[in-house]
Amino acid sequence: MSSLLYIVLLTVLGHIAYTGSRIAVSLFAIHLNASPFTVGTLVALYAFLPALLSIPAGRLIDRIGVRGPMIAGSAIATLGLLAAWFLDNLYGLYLASTFIGVGFMIIGIGAYQVVGILSTPEQRPSNFSMLALGFSLGGFCGPLLAGFAIDHFSYRITFLLLAVFSIAPAAALAVIRARLPRPHGHAERPTDAAVLDLLHHGDLRRIYTCVALFSVAWDVYNFAIPLYGTHIGLSASWIGMIMGSFAAATFTIRLSMPIITRHFTPWPLIMTSSVVAAASYILVPLASNVPLLMLLLFLLGLGLGAPQPVVLSLLHDHAPPGRAGEAVGVRILLINMSQTVMPLLFGAVGATLGILPVFWSTAGCLLAGGWIARRRARSLGSEKKTALKNPSA
């Protein structure tokens, strides 16, 4: 348990830098009079190289362990923040988005690997909930820290402050020798194993589809909320507060996950979460005052925050032996593909048609994910009834 708490703490520190940088990069670009398409491009750069590198990174972590890659990821993210601090222009933001995205991708795969390997199947939902709580705490503190630092100091000081948080995991991993999972080497992984083999498994295919659709919703939150808040005249501090309410909701729901998972099986939970998040996205562009927006983003956080621990637990349960890191890498590949394409698409749509179609099309994606989860829940229910009727089958 001490190793799990150690990794969660380091993840919190890294995630503060990651989420804080996303709002700082977006708002600084807007401050520099960048177009919505340019802002979308910057957000997409957080995911472009991670989309290409996540599967090789997962395989590397399967082979050599988590400590070295996580130290490297922390250092890479710090270089990105220092580039934004030093250059203080759009070119610095392009470098920051790219380096921070790659660095945190590596940290994320390592953290997922630690929790998955050090947990039994029965412990995984609650332990992944603990890790998700860490992400939520970082997601709450990061935007708040960035928003207040921007308003009270400057963008340059904000990036330098976030760099302190991003280098902390590397420093801790280099100094404190906690027990971490050992490398798998090559023995447990078939030599002819291909990424597409993972998609031949029906449940893994459904999991990845839902991951992609939920990822679209997270991308819209990160991209559209700063734009929408600026559009209706909110300051950076208020935008940070609104986004902080989303993170507070994800923290709340994930804190409750051990209780929730005792009463809900995974697929019905994913279905319910999809509907809740979709309802929020329908209503957000119709609101213009801070209390209502905070309430709606809290609702959105409940909807988007619940599925992650369940999805990660399902992923580790169904991943082939010795390929958990690779399976997580495929998940991150899908997320980062979405984060690369969708901000560009939504930036173009927002620039031509306005922000409302962006929010409502996202609600449609979430409802599609809910439909997939509902079908799988009904299928499992039918299989269970058949097994009870024919116990010898």
Specify if 190 maps to a domain: no
The owner of tokens 């910057």 is 42
Specify if 167 maps to a domain: yes
* Cβ–Cβ under 8 Å, residues 293 and 284: yes
> Cβ of 357: how many Cβ atoms within 10 Å?
14
What is the DSSP annotation of 345-364? HHHHHHHHH-SHHHHHHHHH
Query: Of all residues in the chain, what percent are helix, strand and coil, respectively (each to 5)?
Result: 85, 0, 15
- Indicate if the alpha-carbon torsion angle 377, 379, 384, 389 is positive or negative: positive
Residue 341 burial class via C-beta count within 10 angstroms: exposed 0-12, middle 13-18, buried 19 and up:
middle
Q: Is the pLDDT of residue 125 over 80?
A: no
pLDDT, position 187: 43
Inter-helix orientation angle 266-283/356-389, to 10°:
160
Specify if 382 maps to a domain: yes
Name the nearest CA neighbour of 187 among 7, 350, 321. 321
What span, in angstroms and rounded, lies between the C-alpha atoms of 338 and 44? Answer: 9
* Total domains in the fold of the chain: 1
- Could you read off the pLDDT of 132-151 as tens digits, one per residue? 788 878 877 888 899 889 88
Specify if 252 maps to a domain: yes
> Cβ of 82: how many Cβ atoms within 10 Å?
20
Q: Which two tokens stand for residue 119?
A: 């947990």
Between residues 376 and 381, the one the model is more confident about: 376
- Could you read off the pLDDT of 297-351 as tens digits, one per residue? 999 999 988 887 787 777 777 777 667 667 777 777 777 777 667 766 766 776 6
Residue 57: half-sphere exposure toward Cβ, Cα within 13 Å: 31
CATH for 110: 1.20.1250.20
What span, in angstroms and rounded, lies between the C-alpha atoms of 202 and 272? Answer: 21
- Could you read off the pLDDT of 195-245 as tens digits, one per residue? 666 666 677 778 888 877 887 888 788 778 888 888 888 887 788 788 888
The owner of tokens 């970082």 is 138
List, in sequence order, the alpha helices (H) in 118-178: 124-152, 155-175
Domain ranges, residue 275: 2-178+197-389
pLDDT, position 265: 79
**Mean confidence (pLDDT) of the chain:** 81
Q: Is the pLDDT of residue 165 over 90?
A: yes
What is the DSSP annotation of 278-339? HHHHHHGGG--SHHHHHHHHHHHHHHHHSHHHHHHHHHHHHSPTT-HHHHHHHHHHHHHHHH
| Cα–Cα separations (whole angstroms), residue 63 to 69, 136, 184, 352 | 11, 29, 5, 47
Specify if 171 maps to a domain: yes
pLDDT, position 389: 62
Specify if 210 maps to a domain: yes
Inter-helix orientation angle 307-318/266-283, to 10°:
140
Contacts of 319 (CB under 8 A, 6+ apart): 198, 204, 326, 327, 328
- Could you read off the pLDDT of 170-198 as tens digits, one per residue? 888 888 766 676 665 544 554 445 666 66
Amino acid at 133: L
Specify if 372 maps to a domain: yes
Q: What are phi and psi of 124, to 5 degrees?
A: -60, -45
Specify if 186 maps to a domain: no
- Chain mean position to CA 48: 15
Best mean pLDDT range from 6-10, 81-85, 388-392: 81-85
What span, in angstroms and rounded, lies between the C-alpha atoms of 8 and 257? Answer: 16
What span, in angstroms and rounded, lies between the C-alpha atoms of 316 and 68? Answer: 22
pLDDT, position 267: 82
pLDDT, position 324: 66
Q: Is the pLDDT of residue 277 over 80?
A: yes
Identify the DSSP state of 181.
Answer: P
pLDDT, position 193: 53
What span, in angstroms and rounded, lies between the C-alpha atoms of 204 and 199? Answer: 6
Q: Is the pLDDT of residue 54 over 90?
A: no
Q: Is the pLDDT of residue 378 over 90?
A: no
Length of the chain: 393
pLDDT, position 100: 94
